[in-house]
Structure 1
Amino acid sequence: MRKIFIVLLFSLCTLSLKQTYAQSYRKLTDSALHVMWAAKDTTGYRKSLNLYEEAFKAYPQNVDESALYKSAVLSGELKEIDKSFGYLERLLALNNEKNNTWRSITGKFAKEEYKNLLTDQRWPLLVKRAETLKTIFFNDLAQAQAEFQENNWKNLKLAEIKDGKTLYKRIRSFNQFKPKSKQNYSIKFKVKDSLYTSYYVSLPPKYNPEKSYAVLFFLHGAVQGNSLSEFQNADILQGWNRFYTKYATLNDVIMVYPKASRQYNWMMPNDGFFMIPAMLKELKQSVNVDDDKVFITGHSNGATGSFSYLMKQRSPFAGFYGFNTRPVVRTGGTFILNIKNRSFFNVSTDQDYYFPPEGNDSLNVIMKSLKADYQDHRYNGFPHWFPQFDESEAVYPLIFKDIKARSRMPFRKQIYWECDDINYGKADWLHVTALDTNQKAANWHKTINFNIHRLLAYNKANELVAKDTLLSAFNFPRKSGVVKGYYSSNTFRIETSRVGALKIFISPEMVDMDKPVWVYVNGKLKAKYKPLYNRDFIIRNFNENYDRKASWADELLINVN
């Protein structure tokens, strides 16, 4: 027993030392990076390189790709050619699935960064090795994606099933998913024409294709400074995302990390807003997703994106989360009553320049008055980049506990939905297909907004200061339409404001398919209709989203006027 205790104590001490070394190494390399950014001449470059080399000498076990790359560039700038090639050799030696170090040599900025190396006879040889590693990497990537996306959906043979009811049941009961050979996959995703980006999928360690899993999309921030990338690597699972990795593993949740850019993202403009639902559709064809447990989270611009999907396109998702959120729709009106039948879990800090604590307080009061499923978890003493801090870990068990307890309920009896763009007119079983904004708004159609009186901002001394202001939290650039719906005993009662036409989606989970459906709009009988298992509609609708649970049997178009 004493021997076991001593071994355990030694192991704990060793682990503690490793953590201390990693933190000390990071402090040195972070300092080196900041010195490099601030450098105005070779004196600054020399100071930065010295710091990197001090870190390499003191903590050789922690030497990483980024620091070697920066050291190679700095050495080249200082015309220490042999040293620069030495770092590049060490860099290529680190190349593996996680560390794609060939990028440092084949990238579009390489000739500029290594301009002092280009005439050396070692440079073309190094480039040739890097290009070979790049080719191998992309071949392996394509093979892995092909294996990931191989599926058995063809076994459904939908075109051969002539009976609509049989077709409907076959889709809902499908569970023939293939096992996966790996845990992590980088998936190339077509944005348009020849433009591609990627999303990175991390499966639970013991993924079982016979079991359905919750999915959590993480939307990154700083979309203005990002660019599309045709691949990602396992680095995405670490750093600021380390706690998503930890708690997704503990809770058997599939994590998905999409890559956005200034033009194609989840905030503004609308060009890239389609990407998350489209990626989800691909994912559902590849792995066993629980359709009622798909969630979105994000940080900063990504949190604003999460909030935007709640406001604009909630139907595929069960719940929404955001760290350091600016809760606003940047491409239209922010209709916060759209939170009904869904939820938002907000994580805010008191030193956030992106959205002030007073703004979060005001929104929290409004959400409580609306009896919305909205949470605001405030952490004091932290800036906008809260997920960087170890103290943020306390939030993640709460998020994953919420994910475990929460499910989408697409057949709820009541719906409220407001939109100013019919491209985002669908909410579960109701779909606004035409607006009529020349109408007078109904008395119950109200705009909800509030003012912000203080903003936080960094001054030239990099100090966070408060500034008095007066601005509206939300903008409403266009008139909107609203629809409220309720059904019971095969009768639908719909109220509208500034809506010209709408669709009702019918499911046997909602109505008795053997009896007629009655539809009243604004108190008037608009339709008496015998629902069908509409074969063509079932196939068309399923092909749009591969949703096995929110699977509709029929649709009914209603002209309001």
Structure 2
Amino acid sequence: MNLRLSRLTLNLTIAFSISISANYLAAADNTALVNQFWSTPDNAQNAEIQSQLISSSSDVSTLYQLLKTGPTYRSDVPTGQQESIRIAADGTRFPFIFLVPDNYDPTHRYPVEFMLHGGVSRPEWEPGGGWWRRGFDSLEQSDRIVVIPASWVDAFWWHENQAENLPAILNTLKASYNIDEDRVTLTGVSDGGTGAYFFAFKQPTPWAAFLPYIGHPGVLRNQQSGGGYRLYFENLMSKPLYIVNGENDRLYPASSVAPFIEILAEEGVDHIWKVVPEGGHNTNWLPDEAPMIEKFKQDNPRNALPERVQWVADRTDKFNRNLWVQIDSMSQTPGLLEVNRNGNEFRVLARGVSEFTLLLNPEEVNFSQAIQVYVNSENIFDEIVAQDKQTLLHWASKDLDRSMLFTAELKLRTGE
């Protein structure tokens, strides 16, 4: 009898050990796949990694937790001042400098600050560091990663190629460095300040806050130099701005920006506007203002999944998404969406929008119960929605954002 029990105990112990080993190996394999997913561009290789993640994950919740945890970052990455080049699909070379703290710790999430320079009407930058002559090395700080991309006459900050470039650079850095996705800010000086306005108006999703210095949003409306964009102040409601202008700025005096600031105040846009008395077109005021700027950044992390999102778009191939809301087609231009989420209930105000997408996060809605969507007070959807691994990976590959993951999407029509 004792011999039988001993054999049974031995067999159970072996089976348990094999099970533990198998689970450990599966977890290790999944971690390795997440590392590859994070570091591989959105291409055929990434598609293969997605397929493996789908096969190896037991369910959507398991895959969600893997992506929310994110990759295991390495400690042997370059630190200090680094120069790199992103090559776009059309072959355009976008150089950028990034500054990583010398004491970089891969277990710590680092804020990121993009700095957009002025003087964009210049020839294309040459590689090799020659464009680093403006002294941006003084921006290196021990508590954040600083990125200085390049702009030139064929790639103004408000051109579509830069609208693609800056988020791509951010994703490139996310592949190697542990970045705090909710503390990525966009600062710009002069033309760079105008560029910061552009991203605030047209493409705010990855950014926590915008800091335009001695720039002017009116430039964006100019057909010749600014792209002739229509500016919708509703699009500024979700992200705060810290704006500085000089009283006697020879290019953009504070008085010329004042009408824009008045609209911000009227619309309730979260902003701070500082006018430098007798200030010119320079940043001589920056050392005195720095403590207030740093407090502004600390006080304004991004909320990636707010309960209320609104967006105005005049096209659907670009500039049609804000966080978890996307405009897919319009019955008139521009189209406006205002969406309020309360648990599983979504209340939508739509004007000129015929089709749109809602992206759903499992920590914000209860997938065991029906999702209800009301458009202009009419109930157009009331069903239980299934979560989907492919949807989760599709949006994760675009955003590489641990704070903003979606396990389902609702594509809806308004009837317009």
Is contact 2:94–2:165 with CA below 8 Å preserved after alignment?
A: no
The one-letter code sitting in structure 1 at the alignment partner of 2:302 is R
**Residue-by-residue CA offset, 1:247-290 (whole Å, 9 max, x unaligned):** x33xx12100101221223223x233211011111111110011
Give the residue type in structure 1 aligned to 2:399: N
Task: Mark the runs of 5 or more structure 1 residues left unpaired by the alignment.
Answer: 1-150, 438-478
Q: Which residue of 2 aligns with 1:378?
A: 275
**Residue of structure 1 in register with 2:36 after alignment:** 154
User: Residue 70 of structure 1 corresponds to which residue in structure 2?
Assistant: none
The yes-or-no answer on 1:553 pairing with 2:407 is yes
The equivalent of 1:184 in structure 2 is 81
Instruction: Give the deviation of 1:181 after TM superposition.
Output: 4.2
Report the 3-state secondary structure (helix = DSSP H, G, I; strand = E; otherwise coil) of the residue aligned with 1:382. Answer: coil
Q: Which residue of 1 aligns with 2:370?
A: 516
Write the mapping of 1:495-514 to structure 2, written as runs, cut at 5 A. 495-514=349-368
Structure 2 SS opposite 1:398: helix
Contact 1:364 1:375 (C-alpha < 8 Å) held by counterparts: no
Higher Cα Rg, which structure: 1
Amino acid at match of 2:59: D
Distance 1:415 1:173 in 2: 26
Alignment match, 1:281: 171
Of the candidates 287, 311, 314, which is equivalent to residue 420 of structure 1?
A: 314
Instruction: Name the structure 2 match of 1:130.
Output: none
1:173 aligns with one of 69, 77, 101: 69
Asked if 2 retains the 8 angstrom alpha-carbon contact of 1:196 and 1:228, the reply is no
Change (3 A) 1:526 1:231: farther
Tell me, yes or no, if structure 1 residue 291 matches structure 2 residue 181: yes
1:143 is matched with which residue? none
| Coordinate RMSD, CA, aligned | 2.2
Equivalent residue, structure 1, for 2:6: none
Of stretches 209-218 and 337-346 in structure 1, the one that deviates more from structure 2 is 337-346
Quick one: structure 1 residues 421 and 155, their matched pair in 2 at CA, closer, same or farther if it must change by over 3 Å? Answer: closer
Look up the equivalent residue of 1:361 and give its one-letter code. Answer: A
Name the residue aligned to 1:194.
Answer: 91
The alignment covers a number of residue pairs equal to 361
| 1: CA distance, partners of 2:150 / 2:324 | 31
CA distance in structure 2 between the partners assigned to 1:351 and 1:318 by the alignment:
30
Distance 1:181 1:221, change over 3 A: closer
By how many angstroms is 1:404 displaced? 1.9
| TM, length-normalised to structure 2 | 0.81
TM-score, normalization by structure 1? 0.61
User: Are 1:257 and 2:148 counterparts?
Assistant: yes
- 1:436 alignment partner, one of 326, 331, 343: 331
| Structure 2 CA distance for aligned equivalents of residues 217 and 230 of structure 1 | 20
Aligned to 2:111: 214
Query: 2:258 and 2:90 mapped to 1: Cα distance?
Result: 44
Contact in 1 for aligned 2:119/2:191 (Cα 8 Å): yes
Q: Which amino acid aligns with 2:324?
A: W
* Matches of 1:496 and 1:174, distance apart in 2: 35
Q: Which residue of 2 aligns with 1:357?
A: 254
How far apart are 1:153 and its partner, in Å? 1.1
Distance of 2:208 and 2:321 partners within structure 1: 15
Judging by fraction of residues, say which structure has more helix. Answer: 1
Give the 3 Å change call, closer, same or farther, for CA 482–353 of structure 1 in structure 2.
farther
User: 8 Å contact 1:187–1:231 — kept in the other structure?
Assistant: no
1:115-134 correspondence runs (5 A): none
Q: Does 1:337 align with 2:227?
A: no
Give the conservation status (yes or no) of the 8 Å contact 1:293–1:318: yes
Distance 1:547 1:499 in 2: 27
Q: Deviations for 1:217-259, whole angstroms, at most 9, x for unmatched residues?
A: 01111212141444537946x63x46633xx33xx12100101
Confirm or deny: 8 A CA contact 1:506 1:531 kept in the other structure: no
- Tell me, in whole angstroms, the C-alpha distance in 2 between the residues paired with 1:411 and 1:155: 23
Structure 2 residue 263 is the aligned partner of structure 1 residue 409: no
Over the matched positions of the two proteins, sequence identity in percent amounts to: 21
The answer for the alignment partner of 2:14 in structure 1 is none
Which runs of 5 or more residues in structure 2 are unaligned? 1-32, 39-51, 221-225
Structure with higher RCO (Cα < 8 A, 6+ apart):
2
